Amino acid sequence: MLWSVNTRPRTKPAEERRDDLMNAAARLFLKNGVAATSIEQITVGADVAKGTFYLHFASKDDVLLALRERFVSQYLDRIRKAIARRPEGDWRGKVAAWAKAGVTGYLDAAALHDIVFHEYQPQSGKKHGDNIVIVHLTGLLEDGAKAGAWSVHDPRITATFLFHGLHGVVHDALAEKRLVRRRLIAQLQQACFRAVGLPPG
Amino acid sequence: MLWSVNTRPRTKPAEERRDDLMNAAARLFLKNGVAATSIEQITVGADVAKGTFYLHFASKDDVLLALRERFVSQYLDRIRKAIARRPEGDWRGKVAAWAKAGVTGYLDAAALHDIVFHEYQPQSGKKHGDNIVIVHLTGLLEDGAKAGAWSVHDPRITATFLFHGLHGVVHDALAEKRLVRRRLIAQLQQACFRAVGLPPG
Amino acid sequence: MLWSVNTRPRTKPAEERRDDLMNAAARLFLKNGVAATSIEQITVGADVAKGTFYLHFASKDDVLLALRERFVSQYLDRIRKAIARRPEGDWRGKVAAWAKAGVTGYLDAAALHDIVFHEYQPQSGKKHGDNIVIVHLTGLLEDGAKAGAWSVHDPRITATFLFHGLHGVVHDALAEKRLVRRRLIAQLQQACFRAVGLPPG
Amino acid sequence: MLWSVNTRPRTKPAEERRDDLMNAAARLFLKNGVAATSIEQITVGADVAKGTFYLHFASKDDVLLALRERFVSQYLDRIRKAIARRPEGDWRGKVAAWAKAGVTGYLDAAALHDIVFHEYQPQSGKKHGDNIVIVHLTGLLEDGAKAGAWSVHDPRITATFLFHGLHGVVHDALAEKRLVRRRLIAQLQQACFRAVGLPPG
DNA sequence: AATGAATGAGCGTTCATTCAT
DNA sequence: CATGAATGAACGCTCATTCAT
């Protein structure tokens, strides 16, 4: 056909389309904010028609939720791998690795994190559900305690405390452009040691 | 009437009207969320006409910002007073008081805090500015360090860490309805002691 | 269907929708005035949803401008055709034809003309631009002068004078319901003859 | 009283206040357009409270109408005086004076004229009423015809034609910044002579 | 699976007008 | 005469969502 030059492939595996849309959404959310991003902008950004959006997501909140899930699971993956690199029994090293991966993983995607977690709360009734990063850290703290590496009265509370403390510090550091990565990591590792009752480095 | 000398006739003092609107907004934000609350709802809630809103605020973001300021200054007041009750030199007691006031002050208004700080980021360019609660705690940590009460390498980072850690814990506790106030306070006081290098109670 | 080859499926061709909206707008502008006509009224009149308006026009001013353009080009068309019917060289006849077509073309759409040109000035910075009817008449006067048919010092000014004089007279005649079409035409033809220095009929 | 320094005279003759308001309105209409001028702006401009406006005018349309009347009567005054300066019987001179005063009177207040007559049509049902400038010129043409100074079949139509022709030319000249006052006057005087059947100057 | 014209509820905002002082 | 806080109807405009193709 003569006009075939301008024709894009009409069809793509659903998963790929979904990803296109999520990526376009992430980009636009970052640039303009969630509330200020329209579905139309997202579809234009993903190079599909408006209606196609609704083939893959039920609403704007739905993409936001999907973005959240993706973010968290990538973040946790990173932490998991960093910890796994430490030898069995090196509990102090594991905590240090947790802090380091937590800081860097956040720094590398902080803007997206903020957008996706703080800028806009989905209307949906269902609450966040468990924060899997905290759940994971709780496990680590329990294991270390069991192994006699440290003493933690309430691993869940401590994990929550560490998680939010770390994120708060990194977030504030970003906001103020005071950003010496190494220093930040070192300080937060100390904070983690203290929090579980380990002596400073 | 006594006040007729200094008061220009107004159906209601501007400040009172402003407060009515802020209270209505807070109530509705809590109930339905910020994004889902319309200005009209706010004015109905404050029992004024739609146009009256614009006599006191420029936009929805504007009320949100005002609510924020009010919240923070009340919160900080509470913390300040709690600390001031401790005798000069009782540094450990001051930290404990900080943690306790922080927890209770938050618990008593947590939902509003969440709404006002997390649910919706005003589009306006100007960033949060310094968190005055953190600034205040930084001062306390510095003073205690100078007095030899504890050792803290970077008071600012530690203050930030404590602030966000505490809030995160309280927030999560709320979300899960696991809520023994006293236990929460005790745990967080321990966390604070550890964070500044004090021995557990 | 025959047209299915070149036509993308549209509930209605965009041009037709645009015309529907313009016609509804013209009708309402005539009936109630421009300022008193809301966009919603226009869309109701065109039997489309409110949002559809914005698929075709950017604002009320925008429809007004479109209406203007349409009006002028139809008006000029009419004049052009009337003049073209006169034989080459019949300059007096051409002027008479101009006057007649000018009067009748105006009478047949005077109300719309008034609305579209006088009642409301679009806020937009860009000025009317050249009045193409005047530009056209200027050409006719120049040609006749070159051909020695009459003497006109400044064709542009004379054309402007004739155009506005004629319109003013017709407009006033309409306002007062004193309306003998033939008499009006005759009088204005005389005025045109005099204006270019031709002897009366 | 202590605060008497900041107190303006609370009261002014009604006529003066009315004038203040009209002047403020004229200034703002010129600057921003009629539709874009709010009553509040007018009252601020006239240094009175919002409510005071309604003590003197019934609506925005009402000020517009008042400005119209004021404009026309000043314009006509000017023409009348210019004509009166010519000796009894100098009909040609009177026509020339009419044209000159018409042009200059318009040029000196063209922007206001446009605003007040063209930009915005009052919603009110009552039509313009007779244009007193045309009525006056009609009288002049009749008198001259009776005196045998010229021949005009229909003085009213001719007057209307001249009035609108002149205004159209001046208006267009203004719009294009082609503005040699003397030349404009001369051309329009010629047009007037021709229109009444007088030989060119 | 994909399209995009059409929808229409709903929003923020303005502003002429009123009226208690 | 003068005030200005309060009103609330009305408007322009946006945009998530639908659905015929």
Summarize pLDDT for B142-194 with one digit per residue, the tens: 999 999 999 999 999 999 999 999 999 998 888 877 678 899 999 999 999 99
Chain C contact partners (≥3 CB pairs within 8 A): D
Closest by Cα among D174, D110, D118 to C122: D118
For residue D187, give every residue at least 6 positions away whose Cβ sits within 8 Å of its Cβ, in sequence order, or none: C153, C154, C157, D169
For residue C20, give every residue at least 6 positions away whose Cβ sits within 8 Å of its Cβ, in sequence order, or none: C12, C46, C47, C48
The amino acid that residue B26 corresponds to is A
Contact D162/D192 with Cβ under 8 angstroms?
yes
- What are the E-state strand segments in C26-180? none
Give the H or E element holding residue A183: helix A181-196
C-alpha dihedral, C80 to C84 to C90 to C94, nearest 10°: -20
Same domain, C83 and C36: no
C-alpha dihedral, D142 to D143 to D146 to D149, nearest 10°: -100
| Strand F nucleotides within 7 Å of a protein CB | 1-21
Nucleotide nearest to D51 (CA to C1'): F3
D8 touches strand F (CB under 7 A): yes
Residue C152 lies in a domain: yes
Distance from CA of C17 to the nearest CA of D (A): 29
Number of CB atoms found within 10 A of residue A117's CB:
17
Residue C38 lies in a domain: yes
- For chains A and B, CB pairs below 8 A equal 98
Same domain, D48 and D95: no
State whether D164 and C164 contact (CB < 8 Å): yes
pLDDT at position D121, please?
Answer: 67
Residue D4 lies in a domain: no
Q: Domain boundary residue among D57, D73, D95?
A: D57
Nearest by CB to A157, from B167, B169, B195: name it. B169
Same domain, D86 and D162: yes
Same domain, C76 and C155: yes
For residue B94, give every residue at least 6 positions away whose Cβ sits within 8 Å of its Cβ, in sequence order, or none: B83, B86, B140, B144
Residue D3 lies in a domain: no
Same domain, B110 and B171: yes
Same domain, B27 and B120: no
Low-confidence ranges of chain D (pLDDT < 70): 1-10, 119, 121-128, 178
Q: What is the CATH number of the domain that holds B162?
A: 1.10.357.10
For B138-163, give one letter per residue: b (16+ CB within 10 A) or e. bebbeebbeeebbebebbbbbbbbbb
Residue D86 lies in a domain: yes
| Strand E nucleotides within 7 Å of a protein CB | 1-21
Q: Domain boundary residue among D57, D74, D97?
A: D57
Confidence band of A56 (pLDDT split at 50, 70, 90): very high
Same domain, D68 and D36: no
Confidence band of C8 (pLDDT split at 50, 70, 90): very low
Give the residue numbers spanning the domain of C30: 10-57
pLDDT in tens, D145-188: 999 999 999 999 999 999 999 999 999 898 887 678 999 999 99
pTM: 0.79
Confidence band of C119 (pLDDT split at 50, 70, 90): low
A178 touches strand E (CB under 7 A): no
Residue A3 lies in a domain: no
For A82-94, give one letter per residue: b (16+ CB within 10 A) or e. bbeebeeeebbeb
B12 touches strand E (CB under 7 A): no
Structure-block tokens of residue D181 = 């006052």
pLDDT at B34 over 90: no
Residue of D nearest to C114 (CA): D118
Chain B residues with a Cβ under 8 Å from any Cβ in chain A:
33, 35-36, 118-121, 123, 127-128, 131, 134, 153-154, 157-158, 160-169, 171-173, 175, 184, 187-188, 190-191, 194-195, 197
Contact A47/A27 with Cβ under 8 angstroms?
no
Q: What is the CATH number of the domain that holds C47?
A: 1.10.10.60
Closest by Cα among C167, C169, C108 to C137: C167
Number of CB atoms found within 10 A of residue C17's CB:
18
Query: What is the average pLDDT value for chain C, to the nearest integer?
Result: 87
Distance CA C33, CA C71 (A): 17
% residues pLDDT > 90 (chain A): 68
Domain count for chain A:
2
Distance CA D23, CA D29 (A): 10
Distances (CA, A) of D69 to C42, D66, D116, D117, D138: 34, 5, 10, 10, 20
Q: Which residue has the tokens 């209606």?
A: A51
Same domain, B69 and B120: yes
Q: Domain boundary residue among A57, A73, A93?
A: A57
Same domain, A135 and A181: yes
Same domain, A129 and A194: yes
- What's the length of chain B? 201
Same domain, C198 and C147: yes
Residue C5 lies in a domain: no
Best residue of C38, C117, C118, C169 to probe chain D, by most D CBs closer than 10 Å: C169
pLDDT in tens, C99-117: 999 999 998 887 788 777 7
pLDDT at position D4, please?
Answer: 46
Which of A184-193, B150-159, C79-88, C112-121 has the least mean pLDDT?
Answer: C112-121
pLDDT in tens, A7-21: 455 688 888 999 999
Chain centroid offset of residue D137 CA: 15
pLDDT in tens, B64-104: 989 988 998 999 999 999 999 999 999 999 999 999 999 99
Distance from residue A21 (CA) to nucleotide F13 (C1'), in Å? 27
Distance from residue D121 (CA) to nucleotide F9 (C1'), in Å? 22
Distance CA B55, CA C149 (A): 70
Number of CB atoms found within 10 A of residue D123's CB:
12
Same domain, A48 and A97: no
Residue A117 lies in a domain: yes
